[in-house]
Copies of this chain bind each other. A is one copy, B any other.
Amino acid sequence: MMASSDRPRVAIVGATGLVGETFINVLEERGFPMSSLTLMASARSAGKRLTAMGDEHEVIEATPDAFEDIDIALFSAGGGSSKQLAPEAAKRGAVVVDNSSAWRMEPDVPLVVPEVNPDDALNHNGIIANPNCSTIQMVVALWPLHRENPIKRVIVDTYQSASGAGRLALEEMLEQSRGVLNGEQAQPSAFPHRIAFNAIPQIDVFEEDDYTKEEIKMVRETQKIMHAPEIAVSATCVRIPAAFAHSEAVHVEFTNPITPDEARDILAAAPGIVVTDNPSASAYPMAIDAQGRDEVFVGRIRRDTALDNGISMWVVSDNIRKGAATNTIQIAELLAKGAPAAAAR
């Protein structure tokens, strides 16, 4: 997209949110090459001051004209704002990398996980979608296995942290936990029910066939990212009282026989994955260890006793980092580089 001498002008839309704030940290940590950084948010948050790259920045209101001098716009502002503002930004020459679900399933919008389908990132019309957090961590683990041995079906049950519902939801979970420990009655607001010391089998709204939108995302986005509509996926998405990082129990049926050792070797050699799998030492991935990390952690790799050619595994990753901010910035890096490292399909 642009020569390295011509560093992009970057905007963050939704800069005051959990993901927006993490965009800033990840850009800093990775030394993302940019010539300027503009922080945007809704009118309500405009005027706030945030520190980024060692400087104080004033958050400006995200309006169509605010994108006039932007090359890459990292959006984490919710579906409504994305639907309205992303085309305006694209029209003005910016490439939007969007975290909402607004554009993901549009046929002409690439849905990209750099470890899986980096080539897709360059085939855009101004908008690239960042997948759902639960989907990202799962496909990072599925893809290297699928390349060796085509996957036929996937059954996944998730253990998703409160931060996936945003900053207020995270605070509600923590404050509600404190309240319940003190014998107080919970007053759910961000979640449909009390989340403290509970498990809620609903994330997002219910859609067709009594599946939630989150569950349907895990099916359709997996198929789109992996260019594999033939893979049958079934998901139950559950909110638990964890703060950061989602955990997933993933059961996979392959076309051909595969041993746990083979799966372990493939995963250990794959980009973006750390295999943590030493049962005798009680070593396996856990949410509290994945928090703040960018990798996808995989463990509990074993033969699935109910599926033919089956493997079960436990997949954990920080939903705010790899599941949102880091993946988005990895996409921006593909754009800034102009050509993907061809992680190969």
A282 within 8 A of B: yes
Residues of chain B lying within 8 A (CB to CB) of residue A314: 201, 236
Residues of chain B lying within 8 A (CB to CB) of residue A302: 209-211
Identify which of B194, B251, B306 contacts A288 (C-beta below 8 A): B194
Q: Is the CB of A287 within 8 A of B181?
A: no
Which residues of A (315-331) have their CB < 8 Å from a CB of B? none
Which residues of A (287-309) have their CB < 8 Å from a CB of B? 287-288, 299-307
Residue of B nearest to A260 (CB): B210
Assembled-state Cα–Cα distance A217/B138 (Å): 27
Q: Is the CB of B242 within 8 A of A197?
A: yes
Identify which of B236, B300, B307 contacts A210 (C-beta below 8 A): B300
Residues of chain B lying within 8 A (CB to CB) of residue A286: 193, 198-201
A243 within 8 A of B: yes
Q: Is the CB of A243 within 8 A of B157?
A: no
Top 7 A-B pairs ranked by shortest CB distance? A234-B306, A157-B157, A157-B249, A236-B249, A206-B279, A210-B302, A232-B306
Seen from chain A, the residues whose Cβ lies within 8 Å of a Cβ on chain B are 153-155, 157, 159, 174, 177-178, 181, 192-194, 197-202, 206, 209-211, 219, 232-234, 236, 238, 240-243, 247, 249, 251, 260, 279-280, 282, 284-288, 299-307, 310, 312, 314
